[in-house]
Amino acid sequence: MNEGKHPADRLADAVRTILKELGEDPSREGLQRTPHRAAQAFRFLTRGYAQDPRQIIESAIFASESRDMIIVKDIEIYSLCEHHLLPFYGRCHIGYVPDGRVVGVSKLARLADAYARRLQQQERLTHQIAAALMDALQPIGVGVVIEARHLCMMMRGVEKQNSAMVTSAMLGHFRSSMATRSEFLQLIGRPSPS
């Protein structure tokens, strides 16, 4: 019955079913267009599935003699928790030390979005960004830190509105060199470990 329908219509039907299961009447005036609006919103919020992170990076790699740390900090990220389908949002900080190649600065934000705009765990998201950059550029090292607030923890469950989760992925020299890691953490405004 649903197989011949367009994917957007199937998603709208699923939302309509959820509304009914919640005890709502999807035909009432305020909800008549909700299934379609919600389907469009879910498609937008998960548009990362249609993006190839490697292609994003490879479209803007340039030769460079620089071996100094490059950081883009405070990249806003929005994602959906894969456990509850509730949003989490925050800031992503990406740093790397190049080894002959750099990537266009806007591509770092696009890379973060390509992975964030999927159903995610923050821990995996952090590692995916770092691993993709390490794989594409082969730099001396990569560091990624994400600080995020999770509505699944703020609106339900323990209901802790002021909590934030911090995750990090340190690869290459960022993992093996305390000096490199400390410089990165200091520059993004995070305390470095003793």
Could you tell me if residue 192 is inside a domain?
no
Cα separation of the two ends of the chain:
61
Q: How far is the C-alpha of 54 from the C-alpha of 180, rounded, in Å?
A: 25
Q: How many residues does the chain have?
A: 194
Are 119 and 59 in the same domain?
yes
Domain harbouring 76, CATH code:
3.30.1130.10
Are 28 and 57 in the same domain?
no
Could you tell me if residue 87 is inside a domain?
yes
User: How many domains does the chain contain in total?
Assistant: 2
Please identify every residue annotated as catalytic. 81-84, 122, 150, 152
CA-to-CA dists, residue 79 to 54, 68, 94, 112, 125, angstroms: 19, 31, 17, 10, 9
pLDDT in tens, 128-179: 999 999 999 999 999 999 999 999 988 888 888 888 999 999 999 999 999 9
pLDDT in tens, 13-42: 999 999 999 999 999 999 999 999 999 999
Prediction pTM value: 0.92
Q: How far is the C-alpha of 159 from the C-alpha of 157, rounded, in Å?
A: 6
Are 104 and 162 in the same domain?
yes
Q: By residue range, what is the domain housing residue 20?
A: 7-45
Are 76 and 147 in the same domain?
yes
Are 26 and 96 in the same domain?
no
For residue 92, the one-letter residue type is C
